[in-house]
Amino acid sequence: MEYNELDVIQSCQQENYDQFGLLYDNYIKKIYDYLFFRTFHKETAEDLTSLVFTKALENIHQYNKTKGSFSSWLYQIAKNTLIDNTRLKKATENLDMAEHVASKENIEREISSKMELQKVQEYLKTLSEDQRDIVVMRVWDGLSYKEMSEITGKSEAALKMSFSRTVEKMSGEFIAILILLSLLK
């Protein structure tokens, strides 16, 4: 179903919140991916995604199209929510919750995917926070340089340069892992 995003936003700003579901459906995966590839924890990303959309709904009247796109506004809420979560997070051991038991056919694939994700996680930790954000926004979030510029406050040219330099530093093996993981989504 196609819709005019600005019309839906204006409708929500006039307290017709029934239409917010259209915005939610359009952005849920993008925001979840943005948060997941920064936390690498499914449940945390789910909780934060829920919080982002709650904040967006509660503050939809503050959105101003002249200050940027709705997606940039939503990503900014996600970024701030992630920062708030990081500040509140206590230093505890990260024990993964037991996941649903997989069928025998999928166990090998799941183990392989988890191992690849761990490699990506470890590599991303070696990057500076700015480099990591730029790579994740570009590769996994699929954002344009313009959208990234609105979110980060950096120029499109600076973002392109940083992304290019970071990708150059990556080894051929790691690029293959990135491509593989992006195809698994």
pLDDT tens for residues 127-178?
788 888 888 888 878 888 998 888 888 999 999 998 888 777 765 545 555 5
Place of tokens 């199209």: 65
pLDDT(112) > 80: no
pLDDT at residue 17, rounded to an integer: 92
pLDDT at residue 90, rounded to an integer: 52
- What Å distances lie between residue 133 and 39, 104, 124, 166, CA to CA? 12, 36, 9, 11
Domains of the chain: 1-97 (1.10.1740.10), 104-185 (1.10.10)
Query: With a threshold of 0.85, does the pTM exceed it?
Result: no
pLDDT at residue 95, rounded to an integer: 41
